[in-house]
Amino acid sequence: MIFEIVKSRGLSHKSYFIGSRGAAAVIDPRRDVDIYLDIAKRHDMNVEMVFETHRNEDYTVGSLELSKLVDAKIYHGAGLDFAYGNPAHEGDSFEFGSLQLEVLETPGHTPESISITVKDMDASEDVYMVFTGDALFAGEVGRCDIYGPEEVERMAGSLYDSINQKILPLGDGVIICPAHGSGSVCGAEIRDVDITTVGYEKKTNPLLQKTRRDFIEHKVAERFYIPPYFKRMELNNQRGVEILCRLPHLRALSTVELQGMDDGVQIVDVRDPESFAGGHIPGTLNIWSEGVPAFAGWFLNYHDPIVLVDYDGSRIESVERYLIRLGYDNIYGYLAGGFSSWFKSAGPVETIEPCSVHELRDKLEDPSIFLLDVRKEWEWEEEHIDGSHNIYIGILEEKLEDVPKDRSIILYCDTGYKAGIGASILKINGYINVTNVLGSIMAWKKAGYPTLGVEFHG
Amino acid sequence: MIFEIVKSRGLSHKSYFIGSRGAAAVIDPRRDVDIYLDIAKRHDMNVEMVFETHRNEDYTVGSLELSKLVDAKIYHGAGLDFAYGNPAHEGDSFEFGSLQLEVLETPGHTPESISITVKDMDASEDVYMVFTGDALFAGEVGRCDIYGPEEVERMAGSLYDSINQKILPLGDGVIICPAHGSGSVCGAEIRDVDITTVGYEKKTNPLLQKTRRDFIEHKVAERFYIPPYFKRMELNNQRGVEILCRLPHLRALSTVELQGMDDGVQIVDVRDPESFAGGHIPGTLNIWSEGVPAFAGWFLNYHDPIVLVDYDGSRIESVERYLIRLGYDNIYGYLAGGFSSWFKSAGPVETIEPCSVHELRDKLEDPSIFLLDVRKEWEWEEEHIDGSHNIYIGILEEKLEDVPKDRSIILYCDTGYKAGIGASILKINGYINVTNVLGSIMAWKKAGYPTLGVEFHG
Amino acid sequence: MIFEIVKSRGLSHKSYFIGSRGAAAVIDPRRDVDIYLDIAKRHDMNVEMVFETHRNEDYTVGSLELSKLVDAKIYHGAGLDFAYGNPAHEGDSFEFGSLQLEVLETPGHTPESISITVKDMDASEDVYMVFTGDALFAGEVGRCDIYGPEEVERMAGSLYDSINQKILPLGDGVIICPAHGSGSVCGAEIRDVDITTVGYEKKTNPLLQKTRRDFIEHKVAERFYIPPYFKRMELNNQRGVEILCRLPHLRALSTVELQGMDDGVQIVDVRDPESFAGGHIPGTLNIWSEGVPAFAGWFLNYHDPIVLVDYDGSRIESVERYLIRLGYDNIYGYLAGGFSSWFKSAGPVETIEPCSVHELRDKLEDPSIFLLDVRKEWEWEEEHIDGSHNIYIGILEEKLEDVPKDRSIILYCDTGYKAGIGASILKINGYINVTNVLGSIMAWKKAGYPTLGVEFHG
Amino acid sequence: MIFEIVKSRGLSHKSYFIGSRGAAAVIDPRRDVDIYLDIAKRHDMNVEMVFETHRNEDYTVGSLELSKLVDAKIYHGAGLDFAYGNPAHEGDSFEFGSLQLEVLETPGHTPESISITVKDMDASEDVYMVFTGDALFAGEVGRCDIYGPEEVERMAGSLYDSINQKILPLGDGVIICPAHGSGSVCGAEIRDVDITTVGYEKKTNPLLQKTRRDFIEHKVAERFYIPPYFKRMELNNQRGVEILCRLPHLRALSTVELQGMDDGVQIVDVRDPESFAGGHIPGTLNIWSEGVPAFAGWFLNYHDPIVLVDYDGSRIESVERYLIRLGYDNIYGYLAGGFSSWFKSAGPVETIEPCSVHELRDKLEDPSIFLLDVRKEWEWEEEHIDGSHNIYIGILEEKLEDVPKDRSIILYCDTGYKAGIGASILKINGYINVTNVLGSIMAWKKAGYPTLGVEFHG
């Protein structure tokens, strides 16, 4: 049996390649599908089937792309009307080589979610592993808020039943292969491991210790942001998107070319926040490269050309892949030679004042500062630096009226990266005195400085 | 947590890299250790510890090599007096990052065998996975014959207890990481999967369905060959071997240089048997490249220079690695340009008559042929082609008196590769009419031709 | 200045990437253009222009493919009516970065052939290098027979003038970058170097020592075969072909699938001749992998599906590229697992008797053999083994009536590879006793055995 | 013939691999020799000889390392007493394959400098190419100051003669392969091309247009800095250094480990200057990664441990190689996770004020600033910003008394990178107000702002 986990960083997305005796299936492929072709070639296998465990909302799935290139059949849950592929129902079974895959309907994250069990018939008729999609993760379960707050209770009940009546009964020894790992926006507290087992989750997953009532209550109380691009991903994944065939070749732009582009151009500086602080092109958005999968969808539109700015080009291809996975087909180019080619050409340069947590402590005395925490609302409630105001980074642009223009704005988040996004947004919007706390609350706490929680949460 | 499986083909050996927050351990490293350095570098980790689950007998372990390069500590079971490293006892515990590793003494395969459990303390104090070495495999258990036939019964009882009292009680949900996969000489019927679980093995592993008495009986009845190089590997792994530092650079030999070498030179043609049949250098041994890990140790000595012959050089590096893992430090070079440079230089060429299973059927009528099955004795007993004689390939050279020189020798094995080794050995020893059955008994059966079993086994 | 030579093996084709300050040109791109994209990306450059030195007849040029992916302009000689791109006339000049490229019309190989000079204006206004296409090679000049025998004299005169009036006057110190290297079908005796200079060629190129009259006489006397696919390449390159976008993904075929394919399927075994001799699928054509660029076009049609057989898959991608460069868009798949999967599945196997030159010498006495030399007619005339008949491999299928079916056919060529093609063709056509001389005339001579030349050539 | 150019960035060093029929020579190998082994393996070649064109002073040559691994003979000019290798005299000739290499004694850069001509005897007895070492570059000639100012006149005459009596007479068509390309410290104005020819240099190299007298005058007037490490390289290359065997594995250091290291540790931040400006570890030296080959030797000693700080680890291996080439064997480790892991761990952070050229213009009015140009003395004389003081970056530490502590120091250089080194040096030495002009004089001029030259130069 060939079994390979394909992890997509940033999205913390996991897809799987499973094959036996020349035939293979891919579960939840990403949109840049070259990696599956490479695995197939390495093992002399044909990808015959592509399974989607659910209609994804956080990225554009690569089923159509892969299917087109290798002539495979696509299957997804029967509970939704997809414009492509085939419906898979409870108990549907697919065989290739020594493997038998079988569909379990496991609604809850979405109504049409499915899990797929794997038996190795050479060894036994017992289930060996199960692909659980966004139903069950290591240490977590899927979100139930995708269909709106009014549906959470119903969906949570449904998810509880799926897990308890379908997945856990498979047996403690069954290996669980979820669709996301640690860091995904699709689950709050996913553990940082590749695989887990039913038995280990039953013992250690806090959600599985709850009664149905407590489980639902927990899910109803749970709070998530829904990035604006989720809607587009849902459409993409229900209707299908254009076939790319290959990663688009990006144009290497000179400073002069970049300066000559229309105002609409979306320039994204993918360097780290302290580098952006040390110098950047005025008016540009800063999203560090590994933050692109999770944050680009909050800020970039799907029509104006996107141009990337990097140190030296080494991050361009991975950022391009990240954007492609989010359905961006409007990536135009990148600044040739990186940021330094801008300043060598006498392009105007702006800076942001960075500050360490030790400097922050000294500045807190100063009444003219406005301390802005851009983490999630509930993270702030849990614990924050005294005196800070909270606006989540994703909605900062909508809430600018809450940020005073006449004060020194000091931003922080977990470690300084999201604060870097925020600092760039404030600068774009005309704020002059903007400071980013490098290390943010993580360093603040390591340094032993005090934090506050909001009473009713603490 | 970083968890990577490093598989060494041919040996079907599995080593593991496990790390957390900058520190890592490697379990049973192979001797060409560059891959662990690469993983460590990729994850910004230092390998702090190297564990050996037991003194390996089928390859030269890379603990010393790795330890030298990264300054790590080596641990192995306390039950044997190693010339390097540190003893690890039941209950010894090692922590790094969020991980806690703990030693279980699990004798049976060898007296000093240990297993190592892993807990992810961030998640819980429950065991998450266990490295079982050669105690428990997917679908199999370890050999108990390494210390001689008189010890098998005692060792088997010991192994039964280790598995049943130490490993299985860890819980069904625990992930099992064994030291070998399908195809290893260290276990007869290992299944072809990367990982398994306690629960899945309890359900499906035939050895775990047996009582202690039946288990021991099964192990006592079990038959294995002990290749002559096992003794050397045991010494290597107990005493330690020379540090390589890097893969030795091999000399690209011209036909003239090769022809000028001393008689002692060990020329190994690593091409496939039908290619060897179609033309080869007289007097050379044929071991197809992927067969080198399992068979080189039967035929090659450790002092005379080894020279490799390939198609085009593409298999040289992997064969070099295979030999290094077997402790061969006497690899001298390879024929530059591959076999074709030999015949282009007017070197003498010999051939072997290959034959298909369909041709074999026709030839069986011919009383002058001597049909030789070079599979294992018990494989022959289980099922063979009528009229065949059995000599295991590993001992063929010692048993040549049983192979008549005046008859046409037709060799077969499973698929024709080991028969290819055999054919080359016979040619070296002066046999003239030698035929290799391509596809051998696998194809024979696929073609629907009959086989025989020996009564008391069938 | 960035200057990279992209060599395509087999075709011995050379294309060039030349860039300066962010902009680049590609000269004579091959059809699988990923390599130019990679170079461009590595140097942060945009390919702005693609030049074709002439309408190629030996491969399908990648200008349209590349132009489509990077949005570059295509230029070719004005003397032919291309369905795409732009005409370039004598003296047309193109500038980017510090470079100035200028067109020289250098007809002779084809009427519309151009050369392109390069000046590095940062250094001086002197010509630094020149792309000579198929006009002038290292040690050779281009063929003049493409437009038919009646045109050779005129074309040769034209070529002489192009070289002597356009290229050589550029100055001895000018670097020459030709479109082909040693081994190309586009020039008989090209030397095995990457680049040369005007001065070195003037001293050492035998063609440049001749008077105009002698030069023309030499070219008129010169003999070349024109493979049938040349016509198609000419059409492809005049009209343009379909955009591939990426290397097509090939299907991994099982023995059963392959056996089930229609009779039309074109199975090509790309293994070396001695391997093919040692066992092959009945009815298949043998072209060793590196021979595919030069010989596939003689034997494969453009409509029936092509399936490749290899050792282990390692040669499949390069052969696929070779075929793509020849305009084959009908490559369907390859035998998964290589030839061994065929015989393991009990597929019928045929063999060919290989023989060494020493055995050949002994066999020559035998009056029943028919010794067939499949080299070029004029190679045979120059020197051959006594008693041999000559039919060029490319036309062997048309001349089968000259090969007696009732005799043992022994084939030879230079080294045994083309003889391997011939042996497979004879087997396909029902010949039973077919032998391939490994090493062929090269080994024959190295062994000190005698050859004959035909008087009037000798 | 196999001919490959191996370029080492930063040093702008070029070494060459040249081979024919299985044997090869390497000219001036760098110390990390894996690339030559790879080329040799790719072409089935043995490196039989290693040539050093001269005792290098700007890097540690890899002859001994390579020779040890492949068992090759080393040759260098007879005019110096090397502790290893063999002397090569004028006219000494070496043959392998079709190649004949011959030694020309071409003193001038150093007394024992040699050039090596290459003839391809298959083509002709004319010289095809010549390795000129540091005698003749594209557009330049070698330095003559290595043996001190009092020797320059003599050496320059010697170099003039070597070029005019040995190299140029080889003929215009001869290809020149020099030991350095554009950017090397071994020649002032080397052009940015890989190869050139005698003819092209005769036309375009300004040094070759001069009379002997003018040539010597030019060389005597020429000014160079001699970095302190040159002396060590000379010793290294005369005596030989320790064999590395492989690139040392670097330790991934946590913030805590780094903080715990002795004061002596040499921390080098290899990020770009604007990133360093945006935040860095107090007391660290900033040399951007690609500046390490040229500048590390000015600042780092050979005994205290060196630790590297990067963005994300992507530049660590290349910087390690750069340091190895400079003979640094005291590289200890790198900050795991890059600079961000420092601030996430609450390490103290300092910043430097960057400034654009536009801001600089505004600041020039301010009498409290001290504008410091850290380019070479003669570059400053040629052209500088009015009001600037000049101290070359290499000697800044020795000249700190010339930099007032009580003023705002604004540094510039060509583009801001060397000014970044300077800024870090000033910070280390207690300067508080330090500003780095991003883009420096290059951007200043692009922006149209005025510069001054010193009269007697202008």
- Residue A290 sits at φ, ψ, to 5 deg, of -75, -5
- Please write the tens of the pLDDT for every residue from B140-169: 999 999 999 999 999 999 999 999 999 999
Q: What is the DSSP letter of A154?
A: H
For C229-276, give the secondary structure using H, E and C. HHHHHHHHHHHCCCCCCCCCCCEEECHHHHHCCCCCCEEEECCCHHHH
Residue in chain D lying closest to C174 (CA): D200
Nearest by CB to D254, from B22, B254, B337: name it: B22
Sign of CA dihedral D271, D273, D276, D278: negative
**Residue in C with minimal Cα distance to B273:** C278
- Residue corresponding to tokens 């609604």: A107
Residue A49 is encoded by which pair of tokens? 């089937």
Question: Quick check: A329 pLDDT over 80?
Answer: yes
| Interface membership of D202 toward C (CB under 8 Å) | yes
Which residues from chain C sit within 8 angstroms of residue D136, using beta carbons?
A: none
- Report residue A47 as tokens: 């990808």
Looking at chain A, which subunits does it touch, using at least 3 CB pairs closer than 8 Å as the criterion? B, C, D
Residue A30 has pLDDT above 60, yes or no: yes
Q: Which residue has the tokens 């400079």?
A: D326
Please say if the pLDDT value at position A458 is more than 70. no
Chain D residues close to C123, C-beta within 8 Å: 138-139, 191, 204
Measure the CA–CA gap between B411 and B419, rounded to whole angstroms.
5
**Interface contact flag, B313 D41, Cβ < 8 Å:** yes
Residues in A touching D446 (Cβ below 8 Å):
344-346
Alpha-carbon torsion, ordered D285, D289, D293, D295, to 10 deg: -30
Q: Which two tokens stand for residue D116?
A: 């090596």
Closest to A421 (Cα-Cα) out of A431, A432, A411: A411
* Cα A342 from chain centre: 31
Q: Is the pLDDT of residue C457 over 70?
A: no
Amino acid at A28: D
Are the Cβ atoms of C126 and D198 closer than 8 angstroms? no
ipTM: 0.95
Nearest to B336 among D44, D70, D336 (CB): D44
pLDDT for residue C184: 85
Chains linked to C by 3 or more Cβ pairs within 8 Å: A, B, D
pLDDT per residue as tens digits for the range B7-33: 998 889 999 999 999 999 999 999 999
Q: Which residue has tokens 């007493």?
A: D81
β-sheet with C251-253: strand ranges across? C251-253, C331-335, C306-309, C266-269, C285-286
Q: Does the distance separating the beta carbons of D246 and B245 come in below 8 Å? A: yes
Across the interface, whether the CB atoms of A343 and D438 are under 8 A apart is answered: yes
Q: Do A443 and D271 touch (CB under 8 A)?
A: no
The yes-or-no verdict on residue B458 having pLDDT over 50 is: no
Q: C57-111: per-residue pLDDT in tens?
A: 999 999 999 999 999 999 999 999 999 999 999 999 999 999 999 999 999 999 9
Structure tokens at D297: 């030797």
D403 touches chain B (CB under 8 A): no
**Hey, which residues 176-195 in chain D have their CB within 8 Å of chain C?**
191-195
3-state secondary structure of A99: strand
Are A199 and B199 in contact (CB < 8 Å)? Answer: yes
Quick one: chain B helix, strand, coil %, rounded to 5?
A: 35, 25, 40
DSSP state of B170: G
* pLDDT at residue C270 in the model: 98
Cα A268 → chain centroid: 18
List CB contacts (< 8 A) between C37 and chain A: 249
**Beta pairing class for D127-133 and D136-137:** unpaired
Measured between beta carbons, the chain D residues lying within 8 angstroms of B246 are 245-246
pLDDT tens digits, C250-298: 999 999 999 999 889 999 999 999 999 999 999 999 999 999 999 999 9
Residue C2 in 3-state DSSP? Answer: strand
Whether residues A44 and C246 touch (CB distance < 8 A) is answered with: no
The reported pLDDT for the residue numbered B456 is: 53
C385-403 per-position pLDDT tens digit: 999 999 999 999 999 999 9
- The per-residue pLDDT for range A186-211, each reduced to its tens digit, is 877 899 999 999 999 999 999 999 99
Touching A: D residues 69-108, CB under 8 Å:
none
**DSSP 8-state code for residue D197:** E
Q: Given C314, C340, C446, which is nearest B272 (Cβ)? A: C340
pLDDT at res. C456: 53
Residue of A nearest to D256 (CA): A446
Two tokens, residue B415:
């698929």
Q: Is B63 exposed, middle or buried (0-12, 13-18, 19+ CB in 10 A)?
A: buried
What letter does residue B165 receive in the DSSP assignment? I
C314-352 pLDDT, tens digit per residue, is 999 999 999 999 999 999 999 999 999 999 999 999 999
Residue B65: what are its φ and ψ, rounded to 5°? Answer: -60, -50
- The pLDDT score that the predictor gives to residue A455 is 60
Question: In sequence order, which residues have a C-beta less than 8 Å from that of residue D456 and are 6 or more positions away?
Answer: none
* Residue B343 C-alpha, separation from nearest chain C C-alpha, in angstroms: 5
C-alpha D68/C-alpha D55 separation (Å) is 19
pLDDT digits (tens, 9 = 90+) for D15-46: 999 999 999 999 999 999 999 999 999 999 99
Question: CA B155, B158, B162 angle in degrees (round to 5)?
Answer: 135
CA dihedral (D250, D255, D260, D264) positive or negative: positive
Neighbour tally for D115: CB within 10 Å: 28
Task: Give the nearest partner residue to D337 out of B44, B46, B69, using CB atoms.
Answer: B44
- At A229-267, the pLDDT tens digits run 999 999 999 999 999 999 999 999 999 999 999 889 999
DSSP code, position B173: T
CA distance B129 to chain A (A): 9
Alpha-helical regions (H) of B162-310: 198-204, 212-221, 229-239, 255-259, 273-277, 292-299
Measured CA to CA, the distance from residue C294 to residue C10 in angstroms comes to 6
Give every strand in the sheet of A251-253, ordered side by side: A251-253, A331-335, A306-309, A266-269, A285-286
How open is the CA angle A273-A277-A281, to the nearest 5 degrees? 105
Reported in sequence order, the residue ranges of C45-183 that DSSP labels E, i.e. its strands, are 46-52, 73-77, 86-88, 93-96, 99-105, 114-120, 127-133, 136-137, 140-141, 175-178
Query: Among partner residues C311, C353, C439, which is closest to B272 by beta-carbon distance?
Result: C311
Per DSSP, the three-state class of B132 is: strand
Q: B372 - beta bridge partners?
A: B389, B411
CA dist D47 and C288 (Å) reads: 29
Q: Out of D314, D339, D439, whose CB is closest to A346?
A: D439
Q: Which residues pair with C452 in a beta bridge?
A: C384
pTM score, whole prediction: 0.96
Low-confidence residues of chain D: pLDDT under 50: 457-458
Beta carbon pairs, C and D, within 8 Å:
86
SS3 of residue D176 by DSSP? strand
Euclidean distance between CA atoms D7 and D284, whole angstroms? 30
Mean per-residue pLDDT, C223-231: 92
At A126, phi and psi to the nearest 5?
-80, 150
* CA–CA distance, A114 with A74 (Å, rounded to integer): 14
Tell me: the pLDDT tens digits for A130-159?
A: 999 999 999 999 999 999 999 999 999 999
